[in-house]
Structure 1
C-alpha cells in the first residue's frame, strides 16, 4: 500500500507544473469573470439609483400609483377639452362666417358709388342682406332675411351677386 501511495505521489509530482498552469488559467478566468460581474452590478446599481431618484423615501409602488392617478386626471381633462371643442364647433356654425359686400351707383345722376349691399351669413347660409340706396334727396336702408341662401323677398341684381358671392365662400 505504501508503494501505491508513493507511486501516486510521484505521478502527481510529474504533473504538478501542468496542474498549477491549469489552475492558474482557471483562476485568471474566474478573476476576469468577477471583474465583469462587478461592472454589471455597478451598471445595474446606477440604473436603480436613477430609477429611485426623487422618491424621497416613498416606495416605488406609491410613486407609480400617484403617477397613474395623474395620467387619469390628464386623460379626463383631455376628454373634457375635446368635448368642449366639439360643442364650440357646433356653436360656431351659427356665427357669422361669410360676408360679401358690393358698392355701386344706384342712380345715374348721383356722382359716386355710395349705395351698397352686404350679405352676412353663417355656415348654413342663414343671415341677413343689408342694402343701402343712396340718392340725392334721401338714403334708404333695407334688411332682408336670408334662409338657406334664399330670400323670400325679391332681390336686386346687385343683391343677388353679393348673396352668390357670400354663399360660395368656404366656411373653413
Structure 2
C-alpha cells in the first residue's frame, strides 16, 4: 500500500506524494460520478470516475478507486460533495454571466442599428431638402405671406387704413 495525500478542490481530486509533493494522479471533479464510504469499515471510501475514449472501442467506461483513510472516509466524501456543489454553482454563475453579457451585447447591437437607421433617415431628408431647393430655382422669390396685424397696429391706422388693408387682402 502506498501513502498519498488527497487534495480536494473545486476542479479536481489530486493524489499527492507526501514526501515530494508531486501529483501522482489527477481526477477532474466533473468526472467523479459517485463517492461513498464502506459501511462496515468507516475508514474505507471510494469514488467512481467516468472516462471516455477507451483504447479499444472509444466508448465510455467507469473506474472505481478504493482508499483507506487515517480519518473517517465520510469526511472525505463530504469534502468531495461540497467541492462538487461549489463547482456546480460556479458553473451556473458563469453561464448566467455569459447570458447577461449576451443580453447587453444584443441591446448594444439594437441601439447601434437604430442609430444607423436614424442617420440614414437624416441623410435621406437632407437629400430631399436639397432636391426640392434645386427644383425651385427662384429660391422663394416672388412669394409672400400676408400676416394679420395686431390690434395696436390697427388702432394707429385709423378707420380708413383698416378698410383699405382689409380690401387688399
Same fold (TM over 0.5): no
Q: Which is greater in Rg?
A: 1
TM-score by length of 1: 0.30
Normalising by structure 2, report the TM-score: 0.30
Q: Tell which has more relative contact order, 1 or 2 (C-alpha 8 A, sep 6+).
A: 1
